[in-house]
Amino acid sequence: MFRPDHHRIDAKRRNIGDHRKKQFAEASYKEQKYPHRLNFYADAPTADITLEQFEQWAIDRLRILAELEACSFRNKPPAEVASHMKPLLEKLLPLESSSSQSSQLFAQRQKDHYSHFILRLAFASTEDLRRRFSRVETMLFRLRFNSDDLADRNAFVAGLELDWWETVTEDERAALSSELAAMMPARAKASGSHNPEDETWFKVDWARVPELVEQRRVLLRAGKAYVPAREQASMVLGETTA
């Protein structure tokens, strides 16, 4: 038998460690708090769950994503999608608002957190699957964001500490009142209905919201896009993709 002579090994190669050990060397338990209904899924879960939970949570979320994908194939409008998905979400993947004071808040948010990462792993094998997963997860996030309690939504956005948008002041809103009013949905103009979201506007660099600019859903002035609060989801989603 030959005994390897480590002194004959190139110094650069000798210092290379086991990449598999290095990859997971920093793994550590991190307690999850879930202060908000919505989740950016920035941190992977580390606590233990049962095999039954692993399987059932993945199945329930997969059913939700499959139904959302089917809605997109049928070109259903957002309002119809929200109405169709509401009972399914309440049954398979409920997420109550913080103001509900429900005793199930932690369990619901834990299931949402874990099931996202379980399916993220399941869809990670090819680029096409990753894009497919990202697309339907974006649809789910937008659906939840738009249906979120206003106080919960504001708390979630404030917690993101995003510094690239600012709220339009009352004076600036008054100066642009006619132009901003023209951006309101046609049905809101016709009915004269009052929506608090139509009174709040955000000002951002137009390059931050190219989708809204392309669809002419914002007001452009001096390189800035004036975004109504009802389109805030697009700004938040832009942060996730960035």
Average predicted confidence (pLDDT) for the chain? 83
Contacts of 139 (CB under 8 A, 6+ apart): 68, 69, 72
Predicted confidence (pLDDT) at residue 33 exceeds the cutoff of 90: no
Let me know how long the chain is: 242
pLDDT at 193: 52
Q: Give the residue range(s) of CATH 1.20.930.80 domains in the chain.
A: 51-149
What is the average per-residue pLDDT within 25-31? 58
What is the average per-residue pLDDT within 132-153? 92
State which CATH number among 1.20.930.80, 3.40.50.920, 3.60.120.10, 2.60.200.20 fits the domain covering 51-149.
1.20.930.80
What is the average per-residue pLDDT within 135-145? 94
Structure tokens, 91: 């049954």
pLDDT at 3: 42
- In this predicted structure, which of 38-42, 144-148, 229-233 has the lowest mean pLDDT? 229-233
Q: What percent of the chain has pLDDT over 70?
A: 80
pLDDT at 235: 82
**What tens digit of pLDDT does each residue of 160-199 get?**
887 778 888 899 989 998 898 888 765 455 445 555 556 7
